[in-house]
Amino acid sequence: MKTEKIPVITIDGPSASGKGTIAQLVARKIKFHYLDSGALYRLVALKTLQSHADIHDADQLAQIAKHLDIVFKNEQIYLEGAIVTEDIRAEQCGLLASQLAAYPQVRAALTERQRAFRQPPGLVTDGRDMGSVIFPDATLKIFLTASAEIRTHRRYNQLKEKGISANMADLLHDIKKRDERDSNRSIAPLGQSADARLLDTSALTISQAQDTVLSWYNEIVHKASV
Ligand SMILES: Nc1ncnc2c1ncn2[C@@H]1O[C@H](COP(=O)(O)OP(=O)(O)OP(=O)(O)O)[C@@H](O)[C@H]1O
Ligand SMILES: Nc1ccn([C@H]2C[C@H](O)[C@@H](COP(=O)(O)O)O2)c(=O)n1
């Protein structure tokens, strides 16, 4: 099958909006591959920390991104053979990922790696620029969001479930700061593109959000078949 014929659903949106949760559920339901693009930026951040690289040296960071030895397998993420699935979720990795994602060289080094996930029968992917830059011809593009306060509550509960204590005010501050950085960078900024559908999940359950994405996708597939 020609690559451009392989269906792609992109789910972009701000931090803790539920992109990853919904994208994974949808992918599982329709048996598509899944790409968490944020994990790639987080892996570059983790490797940067491990190797004490200079976070201001964009070319050095791009080399790290280009040569990352990573494997996604059975819901685990491996960096150079070691499981780092939980390590990359640390707030420090998220913040550094957001910083180095502003370097064009780093983004360019990850572009083809992301596109390689477009394999039959299809792909569901989440991030910040999946619909706007990486898969501009995606079948369905969604901008998934929720209010900053709701996202903070969700992140708080998520951390609590993992046994990690957090402060609601600090979390809200971090989420707003990250949104601002990701939205205001000059390259591939976070934002709803004109051809993306808005899905505000502030008042939706996970199941309702999942059903909305599936119904939008089915509607497109149905229209294309008549
Ligand atoms: N509609 C919803 N209602 C309630 N909780 C939700 C909803 N969607 C997601 N969540 C919960 O919110 C938390 C954050 O979701 P998730 O990690 O998927 O967000 P994300 O956008 O991928 O975050 P990040 O960009 O930081 O990776 C999870 O605990 C998830 O279960
Ligand atoms: N397509 C993407 C995905 C992620 N990033 C950057 C910006 C985020 O703050 C950071 C971590 O992402 P998360 O795991 O929280 O989704 O990575 C990006 O610029 N583009």
For residues 36 and 126, is the Cβ–Cβ distance under 8 A? Answer: yes
Domain residue limits, the chain = 3-225
CA distance linking residue 219 with residue 207, whole number of Å? 18
Give, for ligand 1, the residue of 36, 149, 154, 206 to mutate: max count of ligand atoms closer than 8 Å to Cβ.
Answer: 154
Count how many Cα atoms sit within 13 Å of the Cα of residue 74 in the half-sphere of its side chain.
1
3-class SS of residue 87? helix
Is the overall model pTM greater than 0.95, yes or no?
yes
pLDDT at 2: 80
Q: What is the mean pLDDT of the chain?
A: 96
Inter-axis angle of helices 37-50 and 104-115, to 10 degrees?
130
pLDDT digits (tens, 9 = 90+) for 177-213: 999 999 999 999 999 999 999 999 999 999 999 999 9
Is 176 known as a binding-site position? no
Q: How far is the CA of 52 from the centre of ligand 1 (A)?
A: 31
Domain 3-225 adopts which CATH fold?
Answer: Rossmann fold (3.40.50)
What are phi and psi for residue 56, nearest 5 degrees?
A: -100, -5
pLDDT digits (tens, 9 = 90+) for 47-97: 999 999 999 999 999 999 999 999 999 999 999 999 999 999 998 999 999
